[in-house]
Amino acid sequence: MSLVGPIHRQLKPSATLLQEINEAYARDDTDAAQVADEVEESVDLSQLLQEMPIAQDLLEMTNDAPVVRMINSLLKQASRDGVSDIHLEVFERQSVVRFRVDGHLRDIVNMRKDLHSALVSRIKILASLDIAEKRLPQDGRISLRVGGRPIDVRVSTLPTAHGERVVLRILDKDFSKLDLVRQGMSEQTFLEFDALIHRPHGIVLVTGPTGSGKTTTLYGALLRLRSTVNNIMTVEDPIEYNLDGIGQTQVNPRIDMNFARALRAILRQDP
């Protein structure tokens, strides 16, 4: 084999190199729509609820049950395309899967309604939700690996007129993506925001539509402020990223642990 052009060597930490290799192999050409078409042609609903080992890497499970292949392909494609949320919506005659990218939703897969029911059941099992309860909203969480990279998925179900709809919030544990420097701000905006969060007093409001980057910006600010000489504490609903060196508290309405009560308690924690 001959190569045209010079070869440039670059030194990298072994962990970084391994992650980049895993990400490269995760970028295959198979998308969720192709898998859905294949599954719908040959699916046996009795197979769709087969047990699946939860702890395995999804990329190693290409030949498992049809529902596993479908979930696998959705999460692989979402991770590859920088998706913040996956919507599984059900209507009278069909189901639609939509991805939110850069704040905008786009259709990815149209599939038949019975396949939707099987996917929802499997997702609820993975998130430790009650699969028999279809009348009330439920919230859960799934921890898994895609391409060797750990990812958390926040699960929300909601009953509708034609069945349960599900939204999966993708939380990539690659903290380097939370770095404010890498979030696409202009140099001027970054300098102004950095100066604001380093002030000793005040409030910074981060607002915007779903998927616009509010959570990413706030966690990036926390990482920027993190220091051994400071006692930084948060009140969150829910905690989406666990950050070392930050005291994170999650609200829990069931036990009357709300924002006001948590803030009062934090004032006695020498913040």
Which has the higher per-residue pLDDT, 218 or 54? 218
Render pLDDT for 86-138 as a digit per residue (tens, 0 to 9).
999 999 888 999 999 888 899 988 888 878 888 898 899 888 899 889 999 99
Lateral strand order in the sheet of 163-172: 104-112, 94-101, 85-90, 163-172, 149-160, 138-146
The pLDDT assigned to 54 comes to: 45
What kind of fold does domain 175-266 have according to CATH?
A: Rossmann fold (3.40.50)
**Domains of the chain by residue range:** 14-172, 175-266
Render pLDDT for 174-213 as a digit per residue (tens, 0 to 9).
766 778 877 888 889 999 999 999 998 999 999 988 778 8
In sequence order, the 6+-apart residues with CB closer than 8 A to the CB of 120 are 88, 157, 163, 164, 166
The pLDDT assigned to 160 comes to: 94
14-172 against 175-266: fold identical: no
- Classified as helix, coil or strand, 225 is helix
- Classified as helix, coil or strand, 67 is helix
Token pair listed for 137: 């909203």
Render pLDDT for 4-40 as a digit per residue (tens, 0 to 9).
667 777 776 665 665 566 555 555 555 666 656 655 5
Strands 247-250 and 233-236: parallel
The CATH number, out of the four listed (3.30.450.90, 1.10.1740.10, 3.40.50.1000, 3.40.50.12280), of the domain defined by the range 14-172? 3.30.450.90
Which has the higher per-residue pLDDT, 264 or 73? 264
Amino acid at 102: D
Please state, in angstroms and rounded to a whole number, the distance separating the CA atoms of residues 219 and 217: 6
Render pLDDT for 137-152 as a digit per residue (tens, 0 to 9).
999 988 888 777 788 8
220: burial class by Cβ within 10 Å (0-12, 13-18, 19+)?
A: buried
What global pTM score does this model have?
0.68
The pLDDT assigned to 61 comes to: 47
171: pLDDT confidence band, cut at 50, 70 and 90? confident
Beta bridge partners of 158: 165
